[in-house]
Structure 1
């Protein structure tokens, strides 16, 4: 079923629950819901994120998804939908620590689905990944592309997708599974961006753009691609956040469970991304070639047709230069930080410290 009517929050149905709210995508999505008129309840154990990256518009609960009293702590807010981001996301780390990835991405998700059921929530959006498709692909990926994840990260996410489908069948809940391709960029209003310890390509390019002493490492230049480097489909984090808002509206309007690829359908190689960034900043990068990283697929590009059709999703930032400029601008700001309010004490429920309102324009 596809229902494209916008869902307007009402006093009786205005609250969304978000896990992993201190993270890069979770926090950006919290802002998108807030901007759309929603009340946002956020849960995070802060094992990866930090307290000061929780947007202040979020009513924050410091907890793990496996905490036995989590449902009781959330129940007074009466959320009508949930978005589950909490998890580990690094492909290379998952190869070294596979049990950690199954524990956090699969086992903790199962505990959270029990919480969702206890709260009576029947609309759930799950943060998945294009890593479920694996390697050996050379064309745009549809949701029907065979699944063959090449890393423990991808396998832990696929196992969670299967569990979620079974959960929906047994409980009557409905879910939208969003398979992200390569998320990049920063909030267009300057409110947030990637964490300082993020390791994805465009984050590293932005770091090298604002710090000429940094070297750009390319992990493998002997792949079977036109220039020998991996090809990725980069999606702006703000467009991805809006897809989550649209997914919740779709479910609350009666939409059936569905799995959707989140990308733009255009691939760029590592060399191409670096060249575009060099043109933006007006200088070349110091580049070094390193060995391939375990678990890195060669070609990952989405076919976003089903996403666009199902959610009436129209991206606003489908431009690599826009993504790069936003990322570089955010990195510039992080090297010259504005004064932020001090984090609050460990209240059980409080508001975060990262601003929700737009910050002044900071030019490079």
Structure 2
């Protein structure tokens, strides 16, 4: 197999690339570097700077590098931004997927692992959410991911798996760390490092401590889920959605306290209003992926916080 990893210079994409290489799988990266970082691209890995939404670019890389499978991680993922730019999010997360699928069909590439999101669920009706729960997204980002899943599912001849990520955290290596400004853990560690207050979005939610509960899964575990999914779509015809989470929920305050233990510093914080379209709690039911792909998360929240803290340079904002 030779895998094309779209978005392979991004935070999760770079971890997926590293896992594939460790497993001995040839990899080609396509990334426009709008949010990715070229320093995450391993030496010797073919890298094309380009837009996965450009049909000619995708066709060229599929043919030139004899690609036999695609791991599609390119896209946009900020919930607040999606409210500001819903049409842009539809383009980035739906139109781009349709473009990749069209190019795959022309090139005869029939294996796909698709990066989806727990945002498709919206407000779960139970403490943990399984893949067959109703998909009722609460924001344009979630809607775009659900529409993209439907485009994948309606592609004839494609063996595919969609991984619905929960909240990716941590770092598999220092140069792969998450330097974003929207994800919770980098913001918490920045507050611990600099003393600048962290705004906690929602402090009176219907949860035990009033802050949002999420399923925080180490990014190295998410990368391992891609290996399992890649093996599955290669060895047989698949058309399946799987949660990629730990099955355990942690609140925002849990993450803050874990960071304070790791850094031996206090995390100053301010109370802010909940973000529009954010559910109070979302935790994965992971029984399907464990039973069918033999995958389960191996790392704890403390593992993730430790790796993120050690992986972020002291002068990083």
Show the 5 A alignment for 1:287-306.
287-306=269-288
Worse-superposed segment, 52-61 or 264-273: 52-61
Correspondent of 1:122 among 110, 114, 121: 110
Structure 2 residue corresponding to 1:222, chosen from 204, 216, 239:
204
For the pair 1:270 / 2:270, whether they are aligned, the reply is no
Aligned to 1:258: 240
- State how far apart, in whole Å, the 2-side matches of 1:179 and 1:158 are: 10
The 1:297–1:75 alpha-carbon spacing in structure 2 relative to 1, beyond 3 Å, is same
Query: Residues of 1 paired with 2:55 and 2:126: CA distance?
Result: 45
Report if the CA contact (8 A) 1:202-1:324 is conserved: yes
Q: Give the 3 Å change call, closer, same or farther, for CA 299–286 of structure 1 in structure 2.
A: same
Question: What TM-score, normalized to structure 2?
Answer: 0.95
Matched with 1:101 is 89
Which of 335, 338, 345 lines up with 2:315 in the alignment? 335
Aligned counterpart for 2:135 among listed residues 123, 137, 147: 147
8 Å Cα contact 1:40-1:57 kept in structure 2: no
Aligned position for 1:352: none
- 1:347 corresponds to: none
Instruction: Tell me how far 1:57 sits from its aligned partner.
Output: 4.3
For residue 336 of structure 1, report the CA deviation from its aligned partner: 7.1
> Which residue of 284, 295, 308 corresponds with 1:313?
295
Of Structure 1 and Structure 2, which has the larger fraction of its residues in helix? Answer: 2
Q: What is the 5 A alignment of 1:165-314?
A: 165-167=153-155, 170=156, 172-187=157-172, 189-194=173-178, 196-211=179-194, 213-314=195-296
Distance 1:157 1:57 in 2: 32
Moved over 6 A (4+): none
> SS state of the match for residue 58, structure 1?
coil
SS in 1 for 2:205: coil
Offset at 1:107? 0.8
Within 1, Cα distance between the matches of 2:277 and 2:109?
A: 35
Relative distance call for 1:298 and 1:37 in structure 2 (3 A) is same
**Unaligned stretches of 5+ residues in structure 2:** none
Gaps of 5+ in 1: 1-13, 338-364
Deviation string for 1:27-56 (max 9, x for gaps)?
110010011101111101122223333233
Q: Which has the larger radius of gyration?
A: 1
TM-score, normalization by structure 1: 0.83
150 and 57 in structure 1: CA distance in 2 versus 1, 3 angstrom threshold: farther
What SS does the aligned partner of 2:132 have? Answer: coil
Q: Per-residue deviation at 1:141?
A: 0.6
Q: Residue by residue, what CA displacement relative to the aligned partner does 1:191-226 show, whole Å, maximum 9, x if unpaired?
A: 4111x3331111111222322x22121011111011
Contact 1:243/1:313, CA 8 A, preserved across alignment:
yes
Tell me, what secondary structure is at the counterpart of 1:204? helix
Structure 2 partner of 1:163:
151
Note the aligned Cα RMSD (angstroms).
1.6
Aligned counterpart, 1:326: 307
Please state how far the C-alpha of 1:106 moved relative to its aligned partner.
0.6
SS of 2:113 mapped into structure 1: strand
The separation in 2 between residues aligned to 1:328 and 1:237, in whole angstroms, is 14
- C-alpha change, 1:276 and 1:59, in structure 2 (3 Å) is same
Question: 26, 44, 66: which is aligned to 1:39?
Answer: 26
Contact 1:308 1:314 in 2 (8 A): yes
Q: 1:334, CA displacement in angstroms?
A: 5.6
